[in-house]
Chain A
Amino acid sequence: MSSISNIIFYIFIFSTVYAQVFLLVTFLENRKKIVIRKGSVKLSSYPAVTIVVPCWNEETTVEKTVDSLLALNYPKDKLKIFLIDDGSTDSTWGIISKFENYPNIKTFRKENGGKFTALNLGLENLKTDFFGGLDADSFADSESLVRIMSYFEKDPSVMAVAPSLIVHNSKTLIQSVQKIEYLMAVYFKKMLGLLGAIHVTPGPLTVFRKRVFDDLGPYRHAHSTEDMEIAYRMQKNNYKIEHCNDAYVYTSIPGTVRKLFRQRLRWIYGFINNTIDYRNVLFRKKYGDFSFFTLPAGIVSIFAVSFLLGRIFYNLGNFLYSKVVQYQTVGIHFTASLNNFDLFFISTKSFIFLEILIFSLVFLSMILGKQMVEGKWRPSWNMLYFLLIFSVIAPFWLLKAIYNTIISEKPAWR
């Protein structure tokens, strides 16, 4: 039994190292292409863009979100803003109504139907060739849109461009470590973008060509992860998604473990169920690296983390059991070996070296992410805290998402 467990264990370690090396090789191949532009970018023409802000009980942040859109470095007559109140029960509608008089802002109020219905209302009223969303808890950097639009100008085959998400609020420890995670995600996202294998076009300011929705249809509920499903649908139809690493959008993140748990549960549940819905995309040559790398890596990571958690609990159980037996047999007893520590007793099994390798690769991803966003790569203690905290709590939302999928219980938005 333990030898089968060992084989599975090493297969998972191999896959994890493989995925990390794959991204690293992609980085080395493309490192010259990854630039951070300073100052404002000039476009030869400025196509009209509509940004939709779906709101549901966002009274604390929505005003700042709209302000950030109004401050965008983009011609005012080319930027339309739709503020859509999706049946808020707080003062959101009152706040967005104040913007009604702006010539380029349009407000809508509808019954609550979920975020995808608010986005679809925006799509129905869309008159421009480009469409973007901006979650009402996120704030766009003034240069973000123009930098995103430069990708469309450079390559007419690009169908959507996702920005880099930066953490807006990092007061608590759980937020500080998420900030690191988001930096690392920029690196992953950029690499997937270079591979043409992005699997999520996030709510905060991903911009699409209108054609995407004309051809493929509007947003779907998609297990409360409509921003993931549309990316899957685009990949299935070979529509190119890019990532613009120097377009920054500041987003609010959960401040407590409980809220973080709920958010991640929704994301992972969405990943599992969208992948199940799009299972016929897996391992098909015509869908490229999305089908051979992104999806398999995601699936393996979910299984690997669950398996490792099981293994850790099993080992912990064994350890505790042996301590209980020791206590029952000889009472509380400390052997002399604790006093004179000997290097001999440090394990040198090969998985120890592989685990060190994996942690180093993850650490390198954080550094590269930081470099891609901030232009500097100084390591910080939060990187270590991230590894410690996430490796303890992440398995729980993964397992809960698997559990929910099995008993088909849909997680709530908040």
Chain B
Amino acid sequence: MIDWKKYLIVFLITATLFLSASYLSNYFGGKKIGELQLIQDKIAIDILSSETQYALLSDLSCRNVSGTLLSGELAELGKKLEWGEENLGDSEEVRNLKRYYSLLEIKDYLLAKKISERCRVKSAFILYFYTTLEKCKECEREGLVLTALRDKYPELRVYSFDYSTDLSAVQSMLNIFKIEDTKLPALVIEDEVLTGFHSLEELETRVQESFKLQETKPEETQKK
């Protein structure tokens, strides 16, 4: 009376549909990771090129260097990586990309520092340390503040580092600035370490004083 074969066939069809969905998901996930890798490679080339340029022409005029310096795509990569961490699952590939991203940030940071010393210009940057290992509400809020700040002052560079990143270079950064995991989020502005949450107003005053940055009006940002 009951057609068991049909129940089985329908089960197999449904399972196939499920597998197809998961295949599609993996396929597009892989494409996204590929896209991230492309951006990273481009940034790596940009940085390497700037470094080489810097080493080649030690007497290069400062204006030339600062113009070509530093990949503007770091921030975009950061955003995409953060999204990828939440949406592509906690895969080894994503973790590797994140490590690589941290490394690029450090290189970018070092280069910026070198250039600012040599050319005696103040590069505006903030180092930001947070954690994803445990629920850190203050980190989430600080992240929002920094995003808003960066939108307001496009010249400002924010280098963010996940405390739990398994990379010796990141660990060295933590040691240099004596960042402890109990005091996250932590910010470094002009070699001064600020721990805990700092509001937008507070950081804005700091940034304006330290770097003499001008606020960009929203219309101007869009034109750019």
Contacts and interface: CB of A to CB of B under 8 A. Distances in A.
Q: Bound pair: A and B? A: yes
Size range of the chain A interface in the assembly: 20 to 34
A352 B222 CA distance: 32
Contacts of B221: 336
A18 B25 CA distance: 20
Given A17-B18, A288-B2, A330-B145, A348 B25 contact: yes
B9 A325 contact: no
B22 A326 contact: no
A333 B150 CA distance: 12
Nearest to A10: B18
B205 to A, nearest CB: 15
A349 B151 contact: no
B122 interface: no
Q: Which 3 A-B pairs have the closest CB atoms?
A: A348-B28, A350-B25, A353-B21
A330 B32 CA distance: 30
A285 B2 contact: yes
Contacts of B151: 333, 335-336
Nearest to B15: A14
Contact of B24 (A344, A347, A348): A348
SS class, residues of chain B in contact with chain A: helix
Contacts of B200: 329-331
Contacts, number: 84
B31 to A, nearest CB: 8
Interface in A19-42: 21-22, 25
SS class, residues of chain A in contact with chain B: helix
Nearest to B16: A21
Contact of B18 (A14, A342, A347): A14
Contacts of A350: 18, 21-22, 24-25
A22 B21 contact: no
Interface of A: 14, 17-18, 21-22, 25, 285-286, 288-289, 292, 325-326, 329-331, 333, 335-337, 339, 342, 344-345, 347-354, 357
Contacts of B2: 285, 288-289, 292
Contacts of A292: 2, 7
A351 B18 CA distance: 9
B131 interface: no
